[in-house]
Amino acid sequence: MTKKSKAKKVGFYLLLAFILLYLLFPFYWAVNSSLKTEAQLQMTPATFVPRDPVSGDISPSFQNYRVIFDNQQFVRGIWNSTVVAASTTTLALVAGSFAAFALGKLRFRGRKPALYIILAMTMFPQVTVLAGLYAVINALNLSARISMILAYMIFTLPFTTWVLTSFFKGLPSALMESAQVDGATPFQTFYRILLPLTAPAMVTTGLLAFIAAWNEYLFALTFTSIDPGARTVPVAIAYFSGAVARQEPFGEIMAAAIVVTVPIVLLVLFFQKRIVAGLTAGAVKG
Amino acid sequence: MSSLKMVNVNKVYPNGFHAVKDMNLEVKDNEFIVFVGPSGCGKSTALRMIAGLEEISEGELLIDDEVMNDVSPKDRDIAMVFQNYALYPHMTNYENMAFGLKLRKMPKEEIDKRVSEAASILGLTPILKNKPKQLSGGQRQRVALGRAIVRNPKVFLMDEPLSNLDAKLRVQTRAEISKLHQRLKTTFIYVTHDQTEAMTMGTRIVVLKDGVVMQVDSPKNLYDKPENKFVGGFIGSPQMNFINGKAVERGGEIILDYLGTSFTIDDERQTGLRETDYVNKEVTIGIRPEHLTVEITDEETDDTGIVEVTELLGSETYLFIKLKEETIVARVDPNLDLEVGNQVKIKMKKDKVHLFDVKSEESILHKARGSREK
């Protein structure tokens, strides 16, 4: 190995370490803070692990976690978020895969313009429609949960459609034709042949849609302003109040943030293997 | 009994490309028809129109005397084998073969019976539970064949099914498909660009060029009696030699003048030329490399050439002989001790000479036969 390549390697790992630190330190700090009591949080200098203010021994406290799970708003928020994010994801995948099949595999007039309009929609600033949508849901008297699900489709659907379209396009047309000759209707071809093959793409886009809906704050805050019972978890956390007036319940907020992140991390880990696109192997010579 | 008929079938793509022009074909039951031609000749398009995967722009397609133009592929009672197999990767080989039957709501026992029967014919029984990706190319192709067999269709369509296999496997599978045809006694329509496949498998061959049918005939007739210069050149390897010449009458006999030399042709050809009025006209002479005899000679005459290249193939030798400005290929016995630079005398076998019109490239003998029939 030459000196130059060695230096390159060292540089690479330094960069890697920096990126890791940059990404993981805030998360680590949230975990650290969530395990501290109010008194421990006030310690200066701040400690890298929760320590007893007097003795200096390591002493993590689960007080914050106990408090947030006693908080009805928070527990309800998790439930609301789950319902909204799961419904959004399901709807986006169903509608998105239909659209993607048509856009990726069928020939019709206006296919290209349709694709570019969809792409343009993914770049749409959502704030611009917020006020208008609020007026619409008020006029239609829609419940806050339904409103959130519909509003989240504004950003999940174009994205899922776009990604799935390119995936459908990549599937060999001969598969479709073969199914057609075998006697499958277009829907059977879609449902029984192409859809199982898009599973990796479905999982990936589904996860991203779920995360986007799970983390969404702006629409949720606006739409639940008249219905506090429908607040999703990000909104519920923002509404955390301390035991005394004007107190910022920092430890609880950090604990809540950790609790909210864990399901996402678990989902990604669980589906990790399926996110590898390799399912079409063996379909055609390649 | 199933028959298939194409009447003046045309395919014009939206971009104006005319892929198939006025194709007429009548396929009888149990025939093995091969569509052959260079790439882009419309052979695959023709097959896909029969399958229903491609719309027919003009003309009619009949299966068992029923017009099929607007019938969807699944109702045409056909099965197709694709070039790249097109197996469903998420299904086992069994499920791949059973898919079409399941869609037709066939009882499970019947599906089971048909699949295991097809599997035993094709030697797939041990791998029915595997998925396509675990198989070799040859096995995949057999699963694709199996998927077609279980359907028990009126017509089998095959689109270059062997082109993805290696040379040895191709020869083997070629024989298997021929056997399958004899066993199933159904109509096969097979597309290939490989003339060897066409000649060895087909009972009748359809030669296409630029969307036009050049000749429909048995392999032997295609070889012996090409109806035009294209078929003469396309069928046979190495390719037929084409030499420009002139038919002249001298002393009551018709003689071909070419490359500064001449030779007298047989009676059949003489009559043919007379009947079709080609005497004293330019013609293209076609002669296959295997119908030339080559002799070493010391004496330089008008009809001697120089061996430029020799290609020894073991069972035969190809000679590339420079004769005036033309290079002529001859296929000779490898025991003939010929070397590059040898001076040789070339002779054509009189009864194997083909004659084509210079412009229309039509075979003059074919024209003569046609006018006699009238």
Chain A environment of B52 (Cβ under 8 Å)? 180-181
Location of structure tokens 């194997």:
B352
pLDDT of A278 reads 41
Q: Do B89 and A283 touch (CB under 8 A)?
A: yes
Are B358 and B247 within 8 A, CB to CB?
A: no
Q: How confident is the model at residue B358 (pLDDT cuts 50, 70, 90)?
A: very high
| CA–CA separation, A173 and A187 (whole Å) | 15
**The pair of three-digit structure tokens given for residue A140, joined into one six-digit string:** 């239609």
Q: Do A183 and B53 touch (CB under 8 A)?
A: no
Of B80, B89, B137, the CB nearest to A181: B80
User: For chain A, which residues score pLDDT lower than 50?
Assistant: 277-283, 285-286
Q: What is the pTM of this model?
A: 0.81
pLDDT over 90 (residue B286): yes
Q: Do B99 and A279 touch (CB under 8 A)?
A: no
pLDDT of B301 reads 82
Of A177, A183, A196, the CB nearest to B103: A183
Burial B266-304 (b: 16+ CB within 10 A, else e): eeebbebbeebebeeeebbbbbbbebbebeeeeeeeebb
Of B85, B103, B131, the CB nearest to A284: B85
Tell me how far apart the terminal alpha carbons of chain B are, to the nearest angstrom: 32
Min distance B148 CA to chain A CA atoms (Å): 8
| CA–CA separation, B342 and B322 (whole Å) | 11
Angle (CA) B22-B27-B30 rounded to 5° is: 160
Q: Do B134 and A179 touch (CB under 8 A)?
A: no
Q: Once rounded to an integer, what is the mean pLDDT over residues B259-273?
A: 88
pLDDT of A275 reads 63
* List of domains in chain B: 4-233 (3.40.50.300), 234-373 (2.40.50.140)
- The nearest alpha carbon in chain B to A175 belongs to B86
Q: How confident is the model at residue B289 (pLDDT cuts 50, 70, 90)?
A: very high
Q: CATH 1.10.3720.10 occupies which residues in chain A? A: 65-275
Q: Encode pLDDT of A173-196 as tens digits.
A: 899 999 999 999 889 999 999 988
Report chain A residues touching chain B, CB-CB < 8 A.
172, 174-175, 177-185, 188, 192-193, 196-197, 279-285
pLDDT of A279 reads 41
Of A184, A196, A279, the CB nearest to B103: A184
Residues 6+ apart with CB under 8 A from B18: B10, B11, B12, B211
pLDDT over 50 (residue B292): yes
Q: How confident is the model at residue B188 (pLDDT cuts 50, 70, 90)?
A: very high
pLDDT of A2 reads 66
If one compares A44 and B238, the residue with the highest pLDDT of the two is B238
Chain B environment of A285 (Cβ under 8 Å)? 84-85, 137, 140, 164
Location of structure tokens 């319902």:
A83
pLDDT of A244 reads 66
| CA–CA separation, B185 and B179 (whole Å) | 10
Are A41 and A193 within 8 A, CB to CB?
A: no
pLDDT of B157 reads 95
Are B139 and B127 within 8 A, CB to CB?
A: yes
Radius of gyration of chain B (CA): 25
Q: How confident is the model at residue B324 (pLDDT cuts 50, 70, 90)?
A: confident
Burial B147-160 (b: 16+ CB within 10 A, else e): bbbbbebbbbbbbb
pLDDT of A274 reads 67
Q: Do A174 and B82 touch (CB under 8 A)?
A: yes
Q: Encode pLDDT of A262-285 as tens digits.
A: 988 898 888 877 665 444 444 454
Chain B environment of A179 (Cβ under 8 Å)? 88, 99
pLDDT over 60 (residue B164): yes
CATH number at A65-275: 1.10.3720.10
Q: How confident is the model at residue B78 (pLDDT cuts 50, 70, 90)?
A: very high
Phi, psi at residue B150, to the nearest 5°?
A: -60, -25
Determine whether B48 is exposed, middle or buried from the number of CB atoms within 10 Å of its CB (0-12, 13-18, 19+).
Answer: buried
pLDDT of A197 reads 87
Mutate to test the interface with B, among A173, A178, A190 (most CBs of B within 10 A): A178
Q: Once rounded to an integer, what is the mean pLDDT over residues B134-146?
A: 90
| CA–CA separation, B174 and B158 (whole Å) | 12
